[in-house]
Amino acid sequence: DIQMTQSPSTLSASVGDSVTITCRASESISTSLAWYRQKPGKAPKLLIYDATALESGVPSRFRGSGSGTDFTLTISSLQPDDFATYYCQQYYTRTFGPGTKVEIK
Amino acid sequence: EVQLVESGGGFVQPGGSLRLSCGAAGFTFSSYSMNWVRQAPGKGLEWISYIGTGGSTRYYADSVKGRFSISRDDAENSLYLQMNSLTADDTAVYYCARPRDLGIASPFDHWGQGTLVTVSS
């Protein structure tokens, strides 16, 4: 089974900051990686797919990069709406990472 | 507009069974594979099951294999999850999720609102 890890597990930042979240797969998944944002009590929202492609309607401050086993999500100029939990997912076998909570500093 | 609406959650005793439903609208349901994803209280997302178009291909996470069964009724635009031998570890919000693209490997761009299953005596 392909295992996913994320770091950090929690990240404290302020509005306007740029933050980076890392996701690592236990084996190569090429670019079959997605990023989601989830707010409390809500369903996840797809942000990035194919490691780098921005989902329609998602602001350009979200940027994905990477391939193989190592991936990053960068959020430039954090907005109040961005304080949430972020999950990566490999969609070969659909496993999610454990999540990264972005909280207000 | 794509809509996914889960139902069937509730309280169930350990060892019991429950059947979840997910009604779909706004897209050609029969053309898409579908998935169930769950989230235990305060925990992360866990993919648990996939069903391909036509229903002949089904995958399960190890945590539910042999206890849960996914099915679909394309005439009714509905997805189901039959859950048997439930334990406290199955307590979670259960989401149905549609993939973004037709094809076996695709992220999920539409999700239902979730239905809560609580397993407790």
Query: Could you read off the pLDDT of B25-36 as tens digits, one per residue?
Result: 999 999 999 999
- Percentage with pLDDT > 90 across chain B: 96
Cα separation of B11 and B31, whole Å?
A: 33
**In what order do the strands lie in the sheet containing A4-7?**
A4-7, A19-25, A70-75, A62-67
Q: What is the pLDDT of residue B105?
A: 85
Whether the CB-CB separation of B88 and B73 falls below 8 Å is answered with no
Q: What is the pLDDT of residue A49?
A: 97
Cα separation of B32 and B35, whole Å?
A: 10
Alpha helices by DSSP H, listed for chain A, are none
Q: What is the pLDDT of residue B104?
A: 74
DSSP single-letter state for residue A97 = P
Nearest to A17, CA basis, from A105, A99, A85: A105
Give the pLDDT confidence of B60-91 residue by residue, as tens digits.
999 999 999 999 999 999 999 999 999 999 99
Strands B68-73 and B58-60: unpaired
Measure the CA angle with vertex A6, ends A78 and A62; round to 5°.
Answer: 30
Measure the CA angle with vertex B101, ends A88 and B7; round to 5°.
Answer: 75
Strands B10-12 and B68-73: unpaired
Cα separation of B121 and B12, whole Å?
A: 8
Reply yes or no on whether the pLDDT at B44 is more than 90: yes
Q: Which residues of A touch B114 (CB under 8 A)?
A: 43
**pLDDT interval class at B102 (50, 70, 90):** confident
DSSP single-letter state for residue B30 = G
Distance, in angstroms, between A28 CA and closest chain B CA?
Answer: 15
Residues A46-71 have a mean pLDDT of 97
User: Considering CB atoms only, which of A34, A38, A85 is closest to B107?
Assistant: A34
Mean of per-residue pLDDT scores for chain A: 97
Q: What is the pLDDT of residue B103?
A: 75
Reply yes or no on whether the pLDDT at A36 is more than 80: yes
For A48, the closest chain B residue by CA position comes to B107
Instruction: Give the bridge partners for A12, in sequence order.
Output: A103
Residues B30-55 have a mean pLDDT of 96
Instruction: Give the bridge partners for B10, in sequence order.
Output: B117
Name the residue type at position B88.
A
Alpha helices by DSSP H, listed for B23-113, are none
CB contact A40 to B (< 8 Å): no
